[in-house]
Every structure is written in C-alpha cells, then in structure tokens.
Structure 1
Amino acid sequence: MARHTALCTATLIAFLSIPCLANRKLLVFLIDGFRYDYINEAELQNLPGMREIVQLGVKADYLTPEFPSLSFPNYYSLMTVLIRQGKADMAAVYYERNDVEGHHFGPWSKQRKEATKALDETLRNMNMKIKEVGLQNELNVMLFSDHGMTDIFWMEKVIELDKYIKMSDVLNMMDRGPIVSLWPQEGKLNELYSNLKKVKEMSVYKKDEIPDKYHYKGGKFVAPLTLLAQKGWFIAENIQKLPYWANGTDGKKGWQHGWHGYDNELMDMKGFFLAYGPDFRSNYKAPPMRVVDVYNIMCHVAGINPLPNNGTWSQVKLMLNNGVNLSCTAKASVTVLTVLLAWVFF
C-alpha cells in the first residue's frame, strides 16, 4: 500500500508541475461518503495529514449535500460543469473506500476508520511532497465529500412494500433504500398512494407534494410517487430483495450496516470541506456550507467565470485570503485532468 501511495502522490505532483498560463493550479479530492464528524477534534488527533491541512487552511463546520443525499446528484453537478467549461488547470481524485466500508460495516466501524487512516497517510505524504517540489505557493487543494452516512438496522428496520401494495400495480420501481421512486400502472396512482401513506416510518409524496426545501420536484425525471424513509429505515420490495454484499461467504449474504440518501438536513448526511493553499486563509473555521457553494469556490480559485448557479458567494468568500486576486481569467490556457484513482490508491 505504501508503494502505491508514494507512486500516486508522485504522479499527481508531476501532473501539477506542468507549467501553464492559469493563475494557480487546483487539486480536488472527492471523498465519497465521508461524514463531517469523521474529522472532529477527537478524530483529528489520530489523523496527522488532515490535522496539518486544518492548521494550514480552512475547515467548514459541515457541508450539506443536495437532495437526495446520494453521490451522483452531488458530484455530477460539480464536476461536469467544470469539465465542460474546460478552463482550469485541475486534477481531480476520487476515493470511495470510506463509502464502501461505511456501507458494509457502519460509519464508526474499525474498517471505515482504517480507510480514513489510509487516506490520511496519502495526504500526509502529499503535503510533504508539495513542499519538496516547491508548489506550496502555486497549488490550492480542496477536499470535500458528497454526503455522510448513518447506521441502518437489518432486519429490524425494513419497510417491505409488498406488505402494503400489489407490486403488479407498479410499472417501474427505481432504487432501494432511504428514497425510492415509483411509476404506477395506469389508473393505480391514488390506490398506491393511499396504501403507502399507512406506513408511519416513511413519507409518501406525489410529485407536486414534494417539499420545496428539497429543490427536487421540478426535475423532469422525478417519479409520480417518491418514498422517503425515516432515518435508519430501509425501503425494499421485501427482505429477499435487500442489497446484500459478498462478505467472503458463499454468494452475497452480507448485511449492510450504513447508508445514505435520507433527508439532507439530517446531521448524519452532512459531508465535510477542507481547503488550503495560497488563496485560502490559514487555520480558519468556516460556517456551514452547501454543496452548491463549492462550485463558486472552485471557479474563483481556478480563475474562471462561474456559470449561473444556486450557490451563495457571501457564504464562502470569507475563507479566501483578502490579498488574492479574485478576478476570473477565462482566457487562460487550459488543462483538465480527471484522475480516477480509487482503485490505484489503496
């Protein structure tokens, strides 16, 4: 593992050492399923790499994901816009092991903590390498997650839909877990809705009933019925259709112990945000922010004009150094490097 860590760190530094015309280089870490309190004061004592980053830069109280609190809705909106704009000298690293171990064993399991320590070792080595090659005044680094993770309780808290409705009345069912989308057969919407409303452990919404706070019901792919479970509950057709995993036994029989996708205002769904480099303040504690705010920071640090978005600049501008030039240079020469290293890092 140490050899892979050193190799990948060196590879990233080599990419970022290539001269360019942009103001500064940007390295982004997208850490899947990393809950905000994985780096609370107590946890940081055993994470020297992240502790150094906190001291060098900015740490937000937490990062609220967009609804639903799943990976693709949050990462897609951030990264695809930047790539389409094509105006940043940026490398992006995706790491999923925290999410995988959190699902399989739970958010506070030793396996998840080991995944975080492995990540921390890479960050500590990277910090040293940045100083060795003299990039500390040229490179900004941002680390953030798409969502958090909470405990789930198989078999105690499973909502089995086929106990309340006829599954033959459902034309299509998308997903299992905290949030499920249903497309009823013609003429069956109201019957399904009425029967599912009897389940006290979840909320059931017709499309026009979805609360405005989720900024969700206007989407063209939103189903006629959306089911949202209470924290810790899991929605499935039945227990046999739960997403078991291969845990070394014969076939997929392992229980899941953590999940996400619940109401994005639940604290267990909150992610984290760290940043350091010449454009960021040092040892600064930032107030809570939202995933949509990250895009504005990335654009300003990379020196490009942000497209219209729902972020709030006043929420995040205080984390930047007062002396930095925030003018956007959209004419800069561009290299966009998207490096998917989840499988190589560890």
Structure 2
Amino acid sequence: MQLMFGLFVISVQVFVVTSNKLLLILVDGFRWDYFDLPQIQLRGFERLKKEGVRAKWLEPVFPANSFPNYKSMETGLYPESHGLVGNYIYNKNTGTIFDQSLLDPENRDPVWFSGATPFYISAEQQGKRVGLYNTLGCDIQIDDTLPSVCRPYDSHLTFEKFLTYIRDIVQRFNADDLDIGYMMYADVDVTGHLSGVNSQKLNESIIQVSRLFELILDSNIREEVNVVFLSDHGMASVSDTNIINITSVVDMSLITDIMEAGPLTYIYPRSGKENEVYVALKTFHPHMHVFRREDLHERWFFKRHFLVPPILLYADLGWHIIHPKTLKGLLQFKAHHGYDNAEKDMRGIFSAIGPDFKTQLTVPPIKMVDVYQLICHVTGIHPNPHNGTWAHVQSMLRDNHQVHVDL
C-alpha cells in the first residue's frame, strides 16, 4: 500500500519475520572510507567484511549533521517530515530554541522530538524492552513513553566506560531482559573536528572503534542477536583561510535570530525584512550559496517544514561560514560536517552481522532513511509509514528473512 505523506509517496509494508535481538551502535562522524585506511591495521573491520555485510556507503540526509540524521535513522523519514531540521533550531512561532546540548529546559521540550515516533518508542509500545546508552535525549518522553533503560549522553565518556555499557547490554541480552540495545560513540566525531581527518589522533580513535567491533564479535553474545554499526555522517577537512564572514553584511536589526554556523547557517529575518536580508547576502561570496526556503533543492527533502529557516546559507566543501553569534571554538575546527549530503566526504558507514544478515557481502550504497525499515524488520517491530525503499536493503538479508508482503 502507498500513502501520501506531505507531498511524497511512502510505501507501507508488512514483513513476515522472526524477531531477533539487536545491538545498534552509532559511531558519530565515522566517514565511509575510514573502514579501509591503508596506514593502520584494523582487524575488527576486516572481520566485519568476512563475517557480515556492509553497504558501499551510507548517504546521510541533508543537512549532514547529527540530530537530523539521528532522527531520520530512527524514523525512516526526511527532516522535512520529522521536524528535527538541525542541531540548532529556532521556532519563530514560540520564540523557543533547540540546542543539541539539551542543557536548557526549552531544548528538552518533547515537542521537538514528537514530530515522528522513533523505532525504540514503537518497540516499547509493542512490548519490547529497549536500552539507550550514551544517547542524547533518552530520558525525554515521546508519545508518553520512555525506553526501559536510559544512560544519558556523557561528553566525557571514556572508552573503558563504553565497554562497561557493552557488557551490560550483553548480560541483559543473555538474561533475556532486553530486546534492543542502542548506543552512540562520539569520540571519532570529536577528534575529527579538533585534530583533522588525516591526524594521528583520529587514526587512534578509529583503531579504538575497530577494537570495539572485535571485542563485540568475541563476546559471549547470544546467537540470535544482530549487530549493526553505522554512522550519522562523514567529515571534511577545512582551512582557517577558507572563512566566509557574513558579519559585515548582516544587519542584526533586520534579523530575529541566526542558528548554526560552519558549513551552513539558518537566518530568521524579522517580519517584512526577508527580501532585504536575502539581497544583501545573495552575491556576498562565490563559495556561499543563498536560498530562500521555497527554492531549496528538491533532492534534499528539506523545504516543507515550518521550522526550516526562511533563508539558508551553505558553503562549498572545505569552507565555513561565521557570523556575529558564532562560537569561538568553531574557528579551531580542522574538519566539519553539515555540507551538501551528496558530497563524497559526507558519506557514512553501514555494516551488520548476525543471524539475519548475509556474510562476505558488500551491497550498493543505501540512504539513511533506508535503515529504519531494516531495524524494524529484524526486530519484529511493526513500522510506521516512512521514506525508505525496501529494495535498497533486501539483498543484505538471508533468503529466509526476505519474505515481505505489500498491502
């Protein structure tokens, strides 16, 4: 059966499956080619290739930032449908702000997260037990529901503490106290920003991830557990000479707020001032592109939500935009994400191993919105309408798990 969602057709499928457990690990900022760095030995990645399946790459949604992609993975929807359109968002109707740190009460208002139901909430509502570990907002109710286990995000989380979370999930799986474990590992993203894509420190962080994969594969995890590794986006090098400073052309008296910085910037002009702001910015810099909301690329699936800014700026790869509200720390970054999601450097990873997945297989690239249906399929969750395409992921599954029925 096909449904209209906004202006887009969504396929709804009923899957005939055996429900297995799932360990889902999201490695923030892990670029698609980090799997195959020739200068370092990555035994965990080599084992994944031999014992599991992986996509050639995973294409993030636009913008290639964390929260839009977290939510797209969790719901199978594009940002214009789920509403988490950035890491920082201004709601002109309420005057409230979403900040990815989730430190202020207004950032934690469930309304920001309630545009679509994530798989882990659907799982709880359908009688499954889910644990979220080191994930942002796991303690925020969605549809009046919380996960069975919540270990909130810790920006100072050590690798050793992350391993204790892995052990906790494995123990709960083995005791049949948990059906799904969902974890986020942030060090690759943080190190990439601060040290750069080709740095020794980033290589060390990548080696840790490979070690993590190997430890999981060597654990006493139950045979009916599938393990999925993926990332939210890639990373691109930037130079401190490639700066687009819009401060000189932005008259702050014409603007209610500015959000985001670096590869893109959201501008919310005061009522009646949109054209004046747009004209001032339109031809300011050859490496900066200026869009009104209605003119945004259709391929981004981004324009049809009221939280999308009236004016969006985005930079060419390797350039970054700064403005009067830019945090000083951003100028120290040696790499960024958030560029056009079609850029090669923005690609992420997807790999899986377990009873439902084939082995020694690399499949064509998939999209972030494709992941949700795969999660639902292997865990037996009844999916909500989504933007994923079943044909993109079906070839990853063993033959006895490919049966599905279109309504």
The interval holding the TM-score normalised by the smaller chain is 0.7 to 0.9
Cα 1:243–1:293, aligned 2, differ >3 Å: closer, same or farther?
farther
The residue correspondences of 1:156-305 to structure 2 (distance < 5 A) are 156-198=241-283, 199-237=285-323, 241-244=326-329, 255-305=332-382
1:176 aligned partner, one-letter code: A
1:319 aligned partner, one-letter code: M
Counterpart position of 1:82: 119
Residues paired across the two proteins, number = 292
Counterpart position of 2:145: none
User: In structure 2, what is the Cα distance between the partners aligned to 1:327 and 1:206?
Assistant: 41
Counterpart position of 1:100: 190
Indicate conservation of the 8 Å contact 2:72/2:368, yes or no: no
SS of residue matched to 2:38? helix
Counterpart position of 1:312: 389
Counterpart position of 2:8: none
SS of residue matched to 1:323? helix
Indicate conservation of the 8 Å contact 2:61/2:72, yes or no: no
SS of residue matched to 2:306? coil
2:54 aligned with 1:59, yes or no? yes
SS of residue matched to 2:303? coil
Counterpart position of 1:125: 215
User: In structure 2, what is the Cα distance between the partners aligned to 1:90 and 1:37?
Assistant: 28
Measured after TM superposition, the shift of residue 325 of structure 1 is: 6.6
Gaps of 5+ in 2: 1-17, 75-116, 129-178
Measured after TM superposition, the shift of residue 282 of structure 1 is: 0.5
Runs of at least 4 residues of structure 1 off by over 4 A? 325-328
Q: Residue by residue, what CA displacement relative to the aligned partner does 1:255-300 show, whole Å, maximum 9, x if unpaired?
A: 1101100000000000000001111110001100000011111111
Measured after TM superposition, the shift of residue 164 of structure 1 is: 2.1
The residue correspondences of 1:303-342 to structure 2 (distance < 5 A) are 303-324=380-401, 326=403
Gaps of 5+ in 1: 1-21, 246-253, 329-346
Cα 1:215–1:50, aligned 2, differ >3 Å: closer, same or farther?
same
Q: Percent identity?
A: 35
SS of residue matched to 2:121? helix
Q: Residue by residue, what CA displacement relative to the aligned partner does 1:12-44 show, whole Å, maximum 9, x if unpaired?
A: xxxxxxxxxx7311110011000000012636x
2:38 to 24, 42, 45: 42
User: In structure 1, what is the Cα distance between the partners aligned to 2:305 and 2:200?
Assistant: 39
User: In structure 1, what is the Cα distance between the partners aligned to 2:402 and 2:272?
Assistant: 59
SS of residue matched to 1:42? coil
